[in-house]
Structure 1
């Protein structure tokens, strides 16, 4: 135990000594609240506000009523755009073509072809396209209802079924998009915060010949690996705690009531999240140490370990694309933690069995990685990067 404490103290001191690397390790903790705050503000603005949109309208003089309806929905012709914003709206080049026989076709009761032309693949255009489309469809429905009423037909005949939607989401459930972002950022924090320590204490020490000198001492390779693992995990846990605290503070400055949403993170949920993320912090650090020890150079270790950081983003994305996911994903590392975090944020009860199995499997994977590393460090080829 004395040897382990000495080794652990050495690793922590070396990690703290490099202030720049330490600040870089906590980048995710400071970046996550900013991203959550900015994206939440943008989501609220897009959902609540309807700023003026300007499109190239050809033939607007043939349909004054339609033009008024578009204006009521804050959609205006390009001629009304301010000079400061003119270049931006011309670049978007969203066009609406109204045929010259609009009024005649309207009186005759025939279909009218209004053309909406734009780059549908451009993300910046999608909100404007949706607004123009909805406005034209709304005007079309009004005309259709008026035609039916003029013929003495009740417009209710067009809606034989009235669907009443009831949201079963619990009042305690948090805002979905914030919960999704926070879950991913917490996983990223577990993988990113201990990254620099894991690389420096493995591949870095090998290049500085510190690892060779350390293993020449009367200490087991298992204790060396465990000391490095606990040091990297400690930094990772600090990063996760900072991410959780700062993100919760940042959300407090977002007025979610405009969307009819709330975000509450009580102490019980916060503690549950930390208990859930402790095994994943160990697993992330063990995985990074494993790949760093197997790399021949420090640069190669950086490249290999950097790929691992993609896992907290790729796995939740893959889960969101699955309608019927396999059962084993509920307790596999990363995916299991992510799914449990979803339930915690929703306020759904989390089964102790699922939590135990997920944590146990993650710990098992960590133990296997540690044992393999301890065995490989007994070989001079690995220590000296000869193979």
Structure 2
């Protein structure tokens, strides 16, 4: 990218001059535009809605449509097979090695009925039915659950009939009944499925400002345009401020596009079929934007700081790409170590945003104290990052390439 730098920048308008210059020039940079306005904000929503639609439709098909199940020993329990057929299970011919078949995913589940089923049944003894499956195959979970529930339902019905035949009440077999009272709302259940959204938003902000941050530091250093810029009689913190605000503008625009995209694609996810509710509309988007604002400044400062240590654009890409792993830490932490959120967690950058966005997804909202902690904690970290970057910009070595 060719850069024409004015020989002198007025002190009073230095910040605005640098800001407008960087925004104008990077609006002509195809790589920056694709990263900030296409790849980051739109790729995530498209991938998420595609994967969820494929997964949900497959799971719903397995839960509703006739399910073929290989049955070994079907002739030993004709009544059980008939009951399964009524509920959509289609018995198929037995297979020689059911254990190997489920491991190779040739079958989701295999039903094996013991040869002594009839004899034990007539004596009123417990009978055995084996459900052969591989729990490590996630794609088979719906089929396994469906068959298991049908077999258990049949067992309870037959057990009740045995008690009635002996003049006993069916409730005799169940002296204690656990009454389940699920307090999860439809929106809270949806939050579990969309727990990756906070990471998508942080990644969008990161991608939105990444190439701009690299170009405004390592890129200009490689093109040897920083030195004439620093030669102007302007405090360097004003130059840095103009660059940081330009990065923040691109990152914020990227986040806004992402929020709008999720609001649109969220309407095409069939959550209602699963008894869930998803609200990614204007209210959700505005609250997410508020939570993310100080984080945008922090990430812009970190990207500029890391890129400033590189002597070339390619080297800076490597350094900043490694920094991209930092935003995933809260997601990994909360998914592997489910913990109850504490007040102090909201003051931790990234972690506070993750917890806050998850609460918004659940429909619980973020109260004033949590919001203040989240904003103040991230703003303090952002201020520290900016101060460190300002100190680095005071170094004469920054303007030297090679």
TM-score between the two structures when normalised by the length of structure 2: 0.83
Q: Is the 8 A contact 2:202 2:327 kept in 1?
A: yes
Matched, 1:280 2:295: yes
Deviations 1:291-321 (A, max 9, x none): 2222344333223322333344331332243
Q: CA deviation at 1:169?
A: 5.2
Q: CA deviation at 1:138?
A: 2.4
In the TM superposition, structure 1's runs of 4+ consecutive aligned residues that sit over 6 Å from their partners are: 87-90, 170-174
Larger mean Cα displacement after TM superposition, 45-54 or 100-109: 45-54
Q: Is the 8 A contact 1:222 1:370 kept in 2?
A: no
Classify 1:31/1:134 alpha carbon distance in 2 versus 1 (closer, same or farther; 3 Å).
same
Separation (CA, whole Å) in 1 of partners of 2:391 and 2:143: 60
Q: Is the 8 A contact 1:55 1:89 kept in 2?
A: no
Q: Is the 8 A contact 2:187 2:276 kept in 1?
A: no
Matched, 1:3 2:14: yes
Q: CA deviation at 1:17?
A: 0.9
Q: CA deviation at 1:24?
A: 2.6
Q: Is the 8 A contact 1:190 1:281 kept in 2?
A: yes
Aligned length: 381
Deviations 1:105-146 (A, max 9, x none): 222233333333333212222222222322322222223222
Matched, 1:235 2:235: no
Q: Is the 8 A contact 1:106 1:112 kept in 2?
A: yes
Other-structure match for 1:12: 23
Separation (CA, whole Å) in 1 of partners of 2:357 and 2:349: 13
Please list every run of 5 or more consecutive structure 2 residues that lacks an aligned counterpart in the other structure: 1-11, 95-100
Q: CA deviation at 1:89?
A: 11
Which of 104, 112, 122 pairs up with 2:137? 122
Q: Is the 8 A contact 2:44 2:200 kept in 1?
A: yes
Which of 311, 330, 333 pairs up with 1:315? 330
Q: Is the 8 A contact 1:36 1:181 kept in 2?
A: no
Other-structure match for 2:111: 96
Please list every run of 5 or more consecutive structure 1 residues that lacks an aligned counterpart in the other structure: 81-86
Classify 1:90/1:374 alpha carbon distance in 2 versus 1 (closer, same or farther; 3 Å).
closer
Which of 79, 82, 86 pairs up with 1:68? 82
TM-score between the two structures when normalised by the length of structure 1: 0.86
Please, what is the CA RMSD of the aligned residues?
3.1
Other-structure match for 1:213: 228
Larger mean Cα displacement after TM superposition, 265-274 or 244-253: 265-274
Other-structure match for 2:389: 373
Other-structure match for 1:24: 35
Q: Is the 8 A contact 1:295 1:385 kept in 2?
A: no
Separation (CA, whole Å) in 2 of partners of 1:181 and 1:12: 31
